[in-house]
Amino acid sequence: MKFLDEAKVFVKSGDGGSGCMSFRREKYIEFGGPDGGDGGRGGDVIIECADGLNTLIDFRYQQHFKAGRGNHGMGKNRTGGGGKDITLKVPVGTQILDDDKETVLADMTRVGQRIVLLKGGDGGFGNARFKTSTNQAPRKTIPGFPGEERWIWLRLKLIADAGLVGLPNAGKSTFLAASSRAKPKIADYPFTTLHPNLGVVMVDQWSFVLADIPGLIEGASEGAGLGTRFLGHVERCRVLLHLVDGTQEDVAAAYRQVRHEMKAYGSGLADKTEIVALNKCDALTDDEIKEQRKKLARAARCKMADVMLVSGVSGKGVPEVLRALVAEIGGAQDAEKAAEAGPAEEEAWRP
């Protein structure tokens, strides 16, 4: 299945049905009178967050979605039937943006979440509505009210607990394959990964979702390489794992380069909790590891012991890094729960 994380679609709710002008005409009935019914209400446009979806490919080949129109009113005081609603099913993590691509209309973050994006137009009134003691044969009706319409953008931001960032060929896909059952494409050339990959990681009795995005290069915030298009997929992550290739000459410059692009992207990405790891340690000697680790710690402004050593190929250090991610994810979850609960209420004073 092709990965698609952005789509522009046109949505329109249904128009309301018009009211009916009718008069009662029956044999042997002495008195008639107006009996035109009201029009039916137009259908709504509903956005639903569905399970089992991880791409917006369904909106690649159909961009126009219109709800059903309400039926017109009929004689004998019959109200027209309502228009059929239309439901757009989107993956978890989809944002609904206005046509300006900046205003967020809705953020779908949990399975089963439903919102009415556009309401259908109300039905018009039939002439039976306007009968009075002084106007017993009204010929007035009201047409149905039009529905709403607009262009919207659907932008998918994958829901993951941890995200992998780094330069191309830093070993992110190899690490994802070594820590989960995901099978991303792995090769010895840059930009092997062209779209985000997700993997479910099992460590001890814990499990979490790890996201791997395409690598960043210098000038990515200005559109170089694949740009920062996929950085939105790690915006929702609780912790970032920054992998730095230990076999390159200047590990400090590689670290600063990625951090600069993350800061230029904004959205609070540079402020997220980060674990720094020196990757491909199986190809380095002990002295080289010590030297590269020292340089990387200085660039990251942390203690040398805080820079973790890992090798996705040999599996060295992978369990330790995963446990560190679990610890940070657990702490972030506790903080979120505490924020949702709010300040604890003080007990009433008792003598």
- Map tokens 């694949």 to a residue: 226
- Contact 123/16 with Cβ under 8 angstroms? yes
Q: Please, where are the H alpha helices in 180-317?
A: 251-265, 286-300
Q: How far apart are CA 224 and CA 228, in angstroms?
A: 9
Could you tell me where in the chain the CATH 2.70.210.12 domains are found?
A: 1-156
Written out in words, the top-level CATH class of the domain with range 162-340 is alpha beta
Q: How far apart are CA 285 and CA 277, in angstroms?
A: 16
Model pLDDT, residue 349: 52
Model pLDDT, residue 1: 47
Model pLDDT, residue 225: 57
Query: Two tokens at 178?
Result: 């070594």
Q: How far apart are CA 70 and CA 146, in angstroms?
A: 10
Nearest to 54, CA basis, from 2, 9, 18, 125 = 2
Please state the separation of Cα 260 from the chain's center in Å. Answer: 25
Could you tell me where in the chain the CATH 3.40.50.300 domains are found?
A: 162-340
- Contact 324/308 with Cβ under 8 angstroms? yes
Model pLDDT, residue 339: 55
Q: Please, where are the H alpha helices in the chain?
A: 172-179, 251-265, 286-300, 318-341
Q: How far apart are CA 182 and CA 210, in angstroms?
A: 10
Give the three-class secondary structure for 74.
strand
Low-confidence ranges of the chain (pLDDT < 50): 1, 344
Q: Please, where are the H alpha helices in 119-215?
A: 172-179
Model pLDDT, residue 39: 96
Burial classification of residue 316, based on how many CB atoms lie within 10 Å of its CB (0-12 exposed, 13-18 middle, 19 or more buried): middle
- Contact 322/210 with Cβ under 8 angstroms? no
Query: Two tokens at 244?
Result: 């730095």
Rg (Cα) of the chain, in Å, rounded? 30
**Residue 333 neighbours by CB under 8 Å, 6+ apart:** 238
In CATH terms, 1-156 corresponds, of 1.10.10.10, 1.10.8.60, 2.70.210.12, 1.10.3720.10, to 2.70.210.12
Model pLDDT, residue 351: 57
Q: How far apart are CA 25 and CA 250, in angstroms?
A: 93
The length of the chain in residues reads 351
Nearest to 196, CA basis, from 54, 49, 50, 52 = 54
